[in-house]
Structure 1
Amino acid sequence: ARALRRCGDGPPPLVDLARLHILGGEAVQGVRCLVVAADRAAAAGDYATATALYTRAVAEDPRAASRVRTAGRLARTAQLARAGDHVVAAVRRVLDEDDPPPRLRGEIRLHLSVVLRNQSGGALDSLNEVARAIPDLEASDPQTAARAMAVAAIPSIKGWPVERHRFWLRRGEALTGRITDPVARAAVAANRATALMLLGEPGAWAAAEELRGPATTVMEAAHHTRGWTNLAHAATALGYGARAHEFLGRAAAGLAGTSSPYLEGLTQTARLVLAWHEGRWHGLHAAADRTARLYAEIPDLTAEAMLVRGLTALHVLGDVSRARLDLAEAARVTRYDTGVILTASAAATARVHLEAGRPGQACEAVAETLNRLELTGGWVWAGEVAPTALTALCESGQTERARRLVA
């Protein structure tokens, strides 16, 4: 290790040094090298490398307090990388075994909730994690509590009733004036705009404009980019194609200065869904297939790509069996569906049954999605599925159920 430090004029090869220190029984020194290397990667916008190195550091570190600090960095950085189950397991192990102090525990739970939401867990897992974070943060760090409330404000058809999300949106807005950190301010602004758009609130357009301010750090710019990409998804779902294009253009500019596999994939799937809605179907099935394979380990990216692959198989290729497989798999795989995948999958599957003269099976195809819309009150997302569901209910003789649907 000392020889490696001496050789060459450039910075020391920290990952190699870490390996040699750990092999030589100097775990603390090795972990320090890993953390410094991870910090440098994160500062340069290479979140995949940073996440891998922080994960190794947590696994190798013999000191509980140090593991807690590194787990905080890991959970924060993993939001922008491809964070598999092993990353979630590493963070959870620190929460369960190392007894972090309340402020750090709240921060780690907040960042873990975003990883679960975007990549690894499910809607309720993510929402329950952030709900557990908020009391710790309110008591110790109101600025970060505002970030947690902004995360809790983002709705899902697989999550809480939308009124609970509106509650956290209002609570978070009351703390906005106490946010001084630029990165926290960018994160809250991105989540607030996303939540308002997904809830169909008119204030979403003004909130989106708050993301146009200059970013002073790589992480601040990454949050702006995430916000633009989320807004593109939401605008597409609500039928605002021109605004979705505008948001995607801003996201692409933001991606030029960072290396985030998650954000890159999120932008790709937004382009796929927008192309589908606009009827730009030439080559779309192949593009969706490539994206589904490329991001196979990130459930919601895979699900959106599979949805487009299934829709194009049905309506462009005329391959009903392949389409039904993809549509069912997209609905199964999605974790934090914001009202796009379950509704479109159910509607397309029901159309297949209606075309074949099977209205009863068409009703079965939309039943779970209608139930989730009723449970959440997220009727703003029903535009894709409601007309098909109404036809299925009427043709199967369920006129009273059809009346309740449009009441």
Structure 2
Amino acid sequence: MTQTSSGRGLPSVAELTALVEQALAEAGRQGATAAEVAATASQGLSAKVRQGEVDTLEHMRDRGLAVSVYFGQRKGEASSADYTHAAIGETVQAACEIARHTSEDPCAGLADAELMARNVPELDLYHPWALSADAAIELARETEAAALAVDPRLTNSEGAEVSTGEGVRVYGNTQGFVGGFPASQHSLSCVVLGSEGDAMQRDFWYTAARAPEWLQAAAEVGREAGRRTAARLGARRLSTRRVPVIFDPAMARGLVGHFVGAISGGNLYRRASFLVDHLGERVFPEGFAIREEPHLPGALGSAPFDGEGVATRERDLVADGILQGYVLSSYSARKLGMQTTANAGGVHNLTVEPGERGLDELIADIGEGLLVTQLMGQGVNTVTGDYSRGAAGFWIEGGEIAYPVEEITIAGNLAEMFRSITAVGRDVDTRGSIRTGSLVVEGMTVAGE
């Protein structure tokens, strides 16, 4: 692994490792039977431009030390932003005082020693961007100008923003594991407003990546934000009907996120999920597959180990439509009588196996239905699977987009929706830890007028 940071003020992995080891040693001196420590440092720059003028300009710097100690199966936690020797001792002492007053939890404790990451791969996660404030402002201006130039009906914006960030994290515990690495993430985004008569529409676009050269060009981001907003002008409502629904990749990512929530340990051991006790059962159609790929070089969801030092690995969550595994930390795994899946802190590049058709082909295939490009509201019940959300997008007729639609609601049940997925697009969105193309759901209730 790369052991250095940019030299622009971030501590190195070695420097944070020394702090972590100091805190672990201090925990032992204060009587803790086990301990874990995470030291983090980050910095970044963000510039937002609206109507060509600078709206906000921020320089961010942050650091922290989080300590968890165990006295048997009693746990205490404390944190500090002070890296001094005295502050570390006080933070450990505070955690120990808390642990001495908490009740025992039979599932509390560190991840098992044999699961710790021993060979940490280089995943190409660190690409700092030496971006000055002036250059960031100009990029944001270029993005916004490109958006507003798309169509004369685009008369306003909520701004274009350029962000760059880098950080270092080191985690260690008394199982003999200490590991860390630097990482970076950069983005450009733009939100555009358009009007036609008395009606106004809003849409956006963004790009995000580990390296600045992997981002879409500023003008491309702006043009896509402008195109999406202009396409929504003249939106209509629909009468209530039951039709096939296509979730575009960004909306499909949220749908897969609901699945992840339903198979996450916390919801499972509380029995607050419609997928409790579904391991080994069919939850998607035949041929449908979801794989976790934590070691993809340069990907936004890549990590060599999880938040507990457990080695990440490739695995199938869904194979041929059948649920193969859950999403568990050590604590939730013990609650369920299982083993952690190295998901303390979340999933890592959860990838829905793409199909062979692009979005235009999926639209042509369904003939008539709804393409969803925006979702609103929180109407998802993980316990029952009931799903009802406000939506906007495009009505499809004759295998083509006919007109934009708004002020509608789409409803169904997640268990039925997952089983009714008939196609996955090849248009995979890689801008996060869940990676999927468009998803076609055979039939949902669309409520409007």
TM-score past 0.5 threshold: no
Query: TM tier, shorter chain?
Result: under 0.3
Larger Rg: 2
Higher RCO (C-alpha 8 Å, min separation 6): 2
Larger helix proportion, structure 1 or 2? Answer: 1
Give TM-score scaled by structure 2 length.
Answer: 0.22
Give TM-score scaled by structure 1 length.
Answer: 0.24
